[in-house]
Amino acid sequence: MRLKLDKRETPEIQKAFLAANILIVVAFSLIFSRLWYLQILNGEYFKGLSENNRIRIQEIAAPRGTLFDRNGVPLVNSFPSFDVSIYRQDVPDMKALIPVLTRVLSLDPLRLRARLEGARGIPPHQPLKIKTDIPRRELAAVETRRMDLPGVVVNVVIRRNYPYKNLASHLIGYLGEVSEHELGMEEFVNHKLGYLVGKYGIEQKFELELMGESGGRQIEVNALGQKIRVLGQVEPSPGNSVHLTLDLELQKAAEKAMAGKQGAVVVMNPQNGDILAMASKPDFDPNLFARGISPDNWKSILDNPARPLQNRAIQGQYPPGSIFKILVAMAGLEEKLITPETTFQCTGSYPFGNREYQCWKKEGHGQVNLRKALVESCDIYFYQLGMRLGVNRIAKYASAAGLGTPTGFPLGLEKTGLVPTSSWKMKRFGVPWQGGENLSIAIGQGYYLATPLQIACTLSALFNGGKYYQPRIVQGVRAPDGEVRREYPPLVLRNILISPETIEFVREALWEAVHSPAGTGGRAKVEGFNIAGKTGTSQVIQRKEGKPEPIPAELQDHAWFACFAPAFSPEIVVVVLVEHGGGGGSAAAPLAKKILETYHRRGKKDHPSPARVAVQRSVRRPDEG
């Protein structure tokens, strides 16, 4: 490498130096004249702006996305409410302000002082919220006493409202203030303390879709902190809307049927897994949360022994009781241990080991074949069938039909239920399976547990031709302009392989259980509607035989009714569970009837295609809803 020592000072180089000097002079002159303009010519103006920083950013919250039912009816809406905040830097004399403020807003002076004390770490130019959702009367008072309240501002906040209150509260969920933990998450980078986010249900699961993006405006304020002019504005972008599979009318019917009860209802379309209604009682009012739930309200919900926050349709696990006979009957036929003609004698009780196993009908059913056993729910018949099948063969059919596994409910939190086997019992309790237990499980007692949703899914799959659909609660997500952002098509999780002859036989028996005079499900009958169903009564405690004793309410049996209609081409599955309701035929079937009536009365003619309606409705802005 050679580094030359000579340097030729060509005219070009000299020109380059000249150009560089000119450039530097021009650049610095530009800067100096700009500084002159800002600091000397307009210095006083900017000084004014900088005092109490007169340029501020005001946030404009994004309208939260709406939830629609399957026919495009909004399930939530919003209304404006007013929050009061203080810009502490604009308050010349806090001591003078506090008494005025506490009087106008009827605040506790001690609490207000504590709030101000606690906000020491927050820069004084940031607004400090002191009261949310003030009544109109206080709003008027603040506005008229503006001059006595320097630094006090009223913000309009859009608050979420649930017009149907407790309806479907476990599905819709509720909002709450964003937590410290959530603020640390990437998807919430633009959130600030005090924002409301979904905490439960759809509101939580679809938070990112629903929240939208807030906008804001840059404003210039005067020395009192009042707006003089808007310097710039960015419109918020509203959140996306979520379209549910719920049918508001059926949901209302379900809620009404269950009023005052404790339990759950699931209404499902067996042909695609759509949840048309799901109710769990007791429930709660999400409006309490949207306004910032008071500690007393929160405590009363948490301490309620009936646990209103629990969604019993997916989290309540109950012995399926006689509903389970549907599966045991199918297992018996499929395993060729019985034929429809096989009969057993029912005398009202059946001795096994050193115990007498009772039929629910003390005087007995007499000669019973399978059809009669299902229609009249004869326990003795199933004791004997259960003995022949044994625990593991029953478990095989129960598992294949979807019991003992989560249904895949999209909002999560569901319980799995339980399908016992002999090895499970050995592992769990270290004791071998007892022969008598085969009798108990054959009528859905013993260790068997299922959620109402599991029963609905299994029933759907058995009678829709064997397709086990994942329950669907959300059809899709749409942008405010109606554009489809996300779709959740129906999904078949597995197929159930049971011969059509078996299915058809059981289907007829279940039709008869509702329609024949001796059937246990007669109280579900709806004129002109072919309903097939099965009652169930699951024991909370083992009762001593024969001794009729008064049972306290909390130990009463759970009442089940599971049905589908029309029986030979099902469109709707209804499962009702009433905790401690007593007998399934008397306590649960009449509730299912009310829902089926609503469905049947409406008929097909005024039940437009959901997809088309959803498109029409979602073109509207959610805030108009």
Partner 1 sequence: MLDRRLIFNFDWPTLVTAFLISAIGVVNIYSSTHPHSGAATPLYLKQVYWTVLSFGLAFLVLAFDYRTFVRLSYPFYLFCLLLLILVIFFGRSSSGSQRWLQLGVFSFQPSELTKIALILAMTRFFTEREMPRGHGMRDLAVPFLMVGLPSLLIFRQPDLGTVVLLMAIFLSVLVFVEVRFKTWAVLGAGVAVILPTLWHFLKDYQKNRLLTFINPDLDPLRTGYHITQSKIAVGSGTIFGKGFLHGTQSQLHFLPEQHTDFIFSVLAEEWGFLGCFILLFLLLFLISRGLKIAKTSKDRAGATLAIGITAMLFWQTFINVGMVVGILPVVGIPLPLVSYGGTAMVTNLMGIGMLMNISMRRFMLSP
d(CA 119, CA 115): 6
Among 22, 156, 223, 234, binds partner 1 (CB under 8 A): 234
d(CA 585, CA 173): 32
**Least distance between partner 1 and beta carbon 225 (Å):** 15
Tokens matching residue 452: 């109402």
Inter-CA distances, 543 with 185, 363, 442, 486, Å: 53, 18, 18, 52
* Choices 38-46, 353-361, 421-429, 520-528 (CB under 8 A): range interacting with partner 1: 38-46
110 binds partner 1, rule: CB under 8 A: no
**Least distance between partner 1 and beta carbon 141 (Å):** 31
Among 42, 294, 423, 499, binds partner 1 (CB under 8 A): 42
Identify residues 186-215 at the interface with partner 1 (CB under 8 A).
215
29 binds partner 1, rule: CB under 8 A: no
Taking a C-beta distance cutoff of 8 angstroms, is the pair 589, 524 a contact? yes
- Residues 420/422/428/431 CA torsion (nearest 10 deg): 130
Among 144, 179, 222, 233, binds partner 1 (CB under 8 A): 233
Give the 3-state secondary structure of 70-108: CCCCECCEEEEEEEEEECHHHCCCHHHHHHHHHHHCCCC
Which are the contacts of 512, defined by CB distance < 8 A and separation ≥ 6? Answer: 371, 374, 375, 519
Among 12, 180, 341, 549, binds partner 1 (CB under 8 A): 12
**Least distance between partner 1 and beta carbon 29 (Å):** 11
Give the 3-state secondary structure of 351-386: EECCEEEECCCCCCCEEEEHHHHHHCCCHHHHHHHH
d(CA 166, CA 174): 11
Identify residues 138-167 at the interface with partner 1 (CB under 8 A).
none
Among 122, 156, 228, 231, binds partner 1 (CB under 8 A): 231
28 binds partner 1, rule: CB under 8 A: yes
18 binds partner 1, rule: CB under 8 A: no
2 binds partner 1, rule: CB under 8 A: yes
Which are the contacts of 505, defined by CB distance < 8 A and separation ≥ 6? Answer: 333, 340, 370, 371
6 binds partner 1, rule: CB under 8 A: yes
Taking a C-beta distance cutoff of 8 angstroms, is the pair 436, 353 a contact? yes
222 binds partner 1, rule: CB under 8 A: no
Among 4, 136, 427, 605, binds partner 1 (CB under 8 A): 4
486 binds partner 1, rule: CB under 8 A: no
Which one, of 62, 57, 54, lies nearest residue 233 by Cα? Answer: 57
125 binds partner 1, rule: CB under 8 A: yes
Which one, of 289, 292, 268, lies nearest residue 278 by Cα? Answer: 268
228 binds partner 1, rule: CB under 8 A: no
**Least distance between partner 1 and beta carbon 488 (Å):** 30
**Least distance between partner 1 and beta carbon 32 (Å):** 7
Q: Which of 78, 169, 280, 322 is catalytic?
A: 322
Q: What track of x and - describes contact with partner 1 for positions 50 through 79 (by CB under 8 A)?
A: xx-x-x-x----------------------
Which one, of 172, 398, 416, lies nearest residue 315 by Cα? Answer: 416
322 assigned to active site: yes
d(CA 202, CA 68): 11
d(CA 16, CA 411): 71
Binding residues for partner 1, rule CB under 8 A, total 51
Interface with partner 1 by CB under 8 A: which residues? 1-7, 10, 12-13, 16-17, 19-21, 23-24, 27-28, 30-32, 34-36, 38-40, 42-47, 49-51, 53, 55, 57, 123-125, 215-218, 231-234
Residues with a catalytic annotation lie at: 322
